[in-house]
Amino acid sequence: MRPIAKDFFFWIKALVIAIAGVLLLQFFAFSSCYIPSSGMENSLYRGDQIIINKWAYGLRLPFMSAFGYKRINERPVQKNDIVVFNNPQATSTTLPADKRKVFISRCMGLPGDTLMISNQYSIICPRAEVNPDHKQLYVYPKEKESSIEKNIKKLGIEDNRLLGYNKNGYVRSFSRYEIYLLNQEIQDLKIKSILPDTCKQTRSLIVPGKGRSIRVTPWNIYFLKNAINEHEGKKAFIIKDSLLYVNGEKVSSFVFTKDYYWMVSNNSININDSRIFGFVPKDYIIGKASFVWFSKDSQAGLFGGYRWKRFFQSVK
């Protein structure tokens, strides 16, 4: 064989091996995920590229439609983990879990946990709220926007952008210490925290676990119905907004065959979490958000908006 032809086939072989190695890593170890929205703001930002550790909870084997759900070296999800999972909500077409859209949220409820929730299904009084460095959402009058933006730059407040607006004004996320600093700079700031009403209609919500019987209540009935229909292989429907029927029989409780989790977005303005799609079953979990390998403001130009300090930072 001529040297040129020999070199050509050598590089072709090397390329094929490299592509096969990347695909094996993609399927069985790690994969990359782009963050397209601000739902996990303050932990993950729009434009972040993250690495997903598929072994964090045990490797979920691919091709679920052909071989079913299997997980190697299974380990439990921990509360406060930022978890990557497939969309558990019912879709117009029947798709296996591993072919559905990928979501990312923070796990705030483990199988069997009892969560205290508001009437908007927000968890009441997480401990982080009392931390002066913990960021939460604030609203302020529109006419204060120019002063806010000017002083954000002056005070060196990082990773902060306008998140949206509601009927009361503009919305941004700040820590309590940052609010203190802004109040020193801006007279009559009129900024208020957006918090769930913790004084009214507080209820308990139990996250289903394998073999656990969950009692039907007016505030969990739709979550239970959706989980039973989509993930438990039974037909459930509701009559008069308060009566749950499973396979044609009225039930006051239901014993689940899977472990489920309650996932929560950081940003209550752009939520896409368990308050919308309900409980997430274990077989829909892909892995854990490990670290940010690339970060760029998606609204900036080609040569700007790079968040260099976020490169190769662990996700918390």
Q: Note the pLDDT of residue 162.
A: 67
Q: Look at residue 132 and tell me whether its pLDDT is greater than 70.
A: no
Of 195, 225, 247, the residue at which a domain comes to its end is 195
Quick one: residue 181, left, alpha or beta (phi over 0 = left, psi -120 to 50 = alpha)?
A: alpha
| pLDDT grade for 260, boundaries at 50, 70 and 90 | very high
Give the integer Cα–Cα distance in Å for 83 and 80: 9
Q: Note the pLDDT of residue 159.
A: 64
In a shared domain, residues 141 and 277: no
15-62: pLDDT as tens digits: 666 555 555 555 456 788 888 877 777 788 888 899 999 999 999 988
Tokens of 188: 């009559």
Encode 200-219: b = buried (16+ Cβ within 10 Å), e = exposed. Answer: eeeeebbbbbeebebebbee
Q: Note the pLDDT of residue 7.
A: 59
- The range of the structural domain enclosing residue 254 comes to 57-123+200-284
Give the integer Cα–Cα distance in Å for 194 and 245: 38
In a shared domain, residues 244 and 278: yes
| pLDDT grade for 197, boundaries at 50, 70 and 90 | very low
The domain that holds 165 is classified in CATH as: 3.30.70
In a shared domain, residues 258 and 211: yes
85 occurs within a structural domain: yes
1 occurs within a structural domain: no
In a shared domain, residues 149 and 280: no
146-184: pLDDT as tens digits: 888 888 888 888 766 666 666 678 888 887 778 888 888
Of 140, 169, 195, the residue at which a domain comes to its end is 195
157 occurs within a structural domain: yes
In a shared domain, residues 217 and 184: no
46 occurs within a structural domain: no
In a shared domain, residues 181 and 215: no
Q: Note the pLDDT of residue 261.
A: 97
Q: Total domain count for the chain?
A: 2
Q: Note the pLDDT of residue 268.
A: 62
Q: Look at residue 14 and tell me whether its pLDDT is greater than 70.
A: no
Greater confidence, 122 or 181?
A: 181
In a shared domain, residues 110 and 227: yes
Tokens of 285: 């979990």
19 occurs within a structural domain: no
In a shared domain, residues 118 and 240: yes
In a shared domain, residues 155 and 241: no
pTM above 0.85, yes or no: no
69 occurs within a structural domain: yes
98 occurs within a structural domain: yes
Kindly give, in sequence order, each residue whose CB lies less than 8 Å from that of residue 163, ignoring residues fewer than 6 positions away: 38, 41, 137, 171, 172, 173, 267, 269, 270
In a shared domain, residues 178 and 249: no
In a shared domain, residues 151 and 184: yes
Whether the CB-CB separation of 244 and 221 falls below 8 Å is answered with yes
Q: Note the pLDDT of residue 129.
A: 46
59-83: pLDDT as tens digits: 998 888 888 899 999 999 999 999 9
In a shared domain, residues 147 and 190: yes
Encode 120-150: b = buried (16+ Cβ within 10 Å), e = exposed. Answer: ebbbbeeeeeeeeeebbbbbbeeebeeebee
231 occurs within a structural domain: yes
**How far from the centroid of its chain's Cα atoms is residue 85's Cα?**
8
